[in-house]
Amino acid sequence: MFKPEEMAKIEVLSLNRYKDSILTYLHEQGVLEIREIDVDLAQKDAPNEFYRKAASYSISLSRLIDFLKSYKEQETGGVKGFIFPELKPKKKYKYRGIEALIKEIESFLENAEPEIKSVEGKITSLNTEIERLKTEIEILELLSALDIEVEYLKPTKSVEIVVGFVEKDKFLPLIEELKKALNDRLAYVSRDLKGKVLVAIALLKKDYDKANPILAKYSFERIEVPDVKGKPRDAIKTLQKEIARLNKELEVAEKEARVLAEKYHDELVFYQELMENEREKANMLSNLVRTNMTFALTGWLPRKEVPKILEGLNKISRGKIYVNVRSPTPEELDEIPVKLKNPKFIEPFEMLTEMFGVPKYNELDPTPILAFTYSFFFGFMLTDFMYGLIIAVVAALLTMGHKKLNDGVYKFSNILLWSSFFTIVMGILFGSYFGDAFQRAGINVPALLDPMRGALVVLGLALAIGLLHLFIGYTLGFIVKIKNKETANAVLEQLPWMLIILGVIFLALSIAGFTSIVLGEAFLLPGIVLFVIAEIRSDLPVLMRLLMTISDFFGFIGNWLSYARLMALALATAGIAMVVNIIVAMIWGIKIGPVPLGIAVGLVVFIGGHIFSTAINALGAFVHALRLHYVEFFGTFYSGEGKRFEPFKAKREVSELELEI
């Protein structure tokens, strides 16, 4: 806790014939971050033909899966499926090397791929033909306005027929210009259709080149006349019968697809996952180096994993391996990947820390403090017992449902669960149960403080909390700098603000009569002196130093005052809840005759209004609690510029590899 996982650097050298097995073992263990080796004595490794085939087959399998998944019987989803998702069953695969795996997939695809592609081609062809016929029907429905035989609208050996639309106000000028250009050698028939004119124009083929620019000039929209016979209405009936016949064929083809989906889909997903993991291994090969007989890799792993990995590597290589494990050097400080290490109940909050950035290897992990202060700030801003209870119920259900997955939803719901606890506690202290709903119902509830009537007290409390939060941050920064032997920076950058904050606290206590004003001055004055010394030691011009001193001082004041948002959001929650309750009270007594309509509508407004209030205020509390940490708190001591630990790790949802060790 407070410190990242202790890391070790590992260097591995072994024979090429064990490379695939060693890479697979490390991939399945998922505890080593492999780094690129930069040496001149050996050449970079590269994927062999089997790894290249794995990349190709992964794409082929994905395409087959995309086709079949729409015909696979879908599992039940909805709200229940989201809250309580089912784990996919895992199929075991005994790994005998990349070559054996590729041959097995080739054998599988030899039978499956032709069957699937045959049905896919049939369905695609039928859908294409049906869409073509539907398009022709749409055109024929337009042409039905002309009520002439469709074949009369098709060109002949000497006559060209153009059919299409033109804007109503452009129709007569178009015809006049065509007549003039073609010496009246044309015939046409037209119908008005909603601001446009549908027209069929017959002209000699030799005049077409003259007519075409004129048609373009008037934005003539051509229609491709279908190759059918008879009047449009009769042709439409014929095409509809053809579509019905094709739909029957499509139903048969889709039934075949559903059978194939049941037969092959899960197996395709299984093999595709195997291939995706082989692709990832192939991509990692560029970080390795090799000679004709050997290969080498290097990387970082948690120190506690070293014994297990050494044992596995020795078994796989039958002892024909050289492994060097060492602690990181000071020169490697910026290269060491960081893996956070916290107790289980704090671990979900690592997600919030990582959203900002992980600490450097020699920095403190702020997650343990963030876990408490974030939850507390969330509860302070939401400040309603019933809102906290609603969030707690939802979070508890999500936590139970996603525990087996240990995914992002599980971590986030754990954060909400802790935050809802503080919301409930603050709701009790502030006497808020759906705002002032109980009070309006004539039920007296005990309250330590009313945020609406005691806003100034809540503001003072928020600023006091903010001052304490900033003091913790500066103290942590001081500890980190002392630990890293940056004593001057610790004394001139962190210590001044620690003393100033202590001075402000003791001065406030002296005003309340708890301490002497001398104690406050004893901290405040040295703090101000150190702050001024830190500012004037800069190499900037005197005027710039003065401006920077003013800027930094008021920057601190701004950060402190930012904690007033704790009060502001607490008031917003109480205010929105109060508005909902006032609206409900206004409509509660409305009746239409003997029917108490107001009660029914009031219940809907009450429930809907408070659910909306819970959601909108929880969102505000979530965002602003993060903001207070990312901007104000982390700015006092935390850089978040570390490199996140990204292990070389297999992704297994439907497959489980059995390695021969």
Helices 19-29 and 232-284: crossing angle in degrees, nearest 10, is 110
What is the Cα–Cα distance from 439 to 433, expressed in whole angstroms? 9
Q: Give all domains of the chain, ordered by start, each with its CATH number.
A: 155-224 (3.30.70.2750), 347-636 (no CATH)
Q: Which of 461, 380, 467, 459 is nearest to 424 (CA)?
A: 380
Determine the pLDDT at residue 498. Answer: 93
Determine the pLDDT at residue 123. Answer: 96
Determine the pLDDT at residue 597. Answer: 85
203-247 per-position pLDDT tens digit: 999 999 999 999 999 999 999 999 898 999 999 999 999 999 999
Determine the pLDDT at residue 589. Answer: 84
What is the Cα–Cα distance from 568 to 5, expressed in whole angstroms? 39
Q: DSSP label at 212? A: H
Residues in Cβ contact with 129 at an 8 Å cutoff, skipping those fewer than 6 apart: 246
Helix (H) or strand (E) holding 200: strand 196-204
Residue 145: C-alpha distances to residues 148, 189, 197, 397 (Å) = 9, 11, 11, 62
- Residue 96 · residue 660 · CB < 8 Å: yes
Hey, CA dihedral for 47, 50, 52, 55, is it positive or negative? Answer: negative
Determine the pLDDT at residue 511. Answer: 82
Bridging pattern class, strands 337-338 and 643-644: parallel
Q: Is 515 left (phi over 0), alpha (psi -120 to 50) or beta?
A: beta
Determine the pLDDT at residue 661. Answer: 61
Determine the pLDDT at residue 409. Answer: 93
- Residue 646 · residue 335 · CB < 8 Å: no
Residue segments in the chain with a per-residue pLDDT below the cut of 50: none
Determine the pLDDT at residue 269. Answer: 95
- Chain-centroid distance, C-alpha 338: 22
Mean pLDDT score of the chain: 91
Determine the pLDDT at residue 550. Answer: 84
Residue 71: C-alpha distances to residues 86, 111, 255, 559 (Å) = 20, 19, 9, 57
User: Phi, psi at residue 93, to the nearest 5°?
Assistant: -135, 125
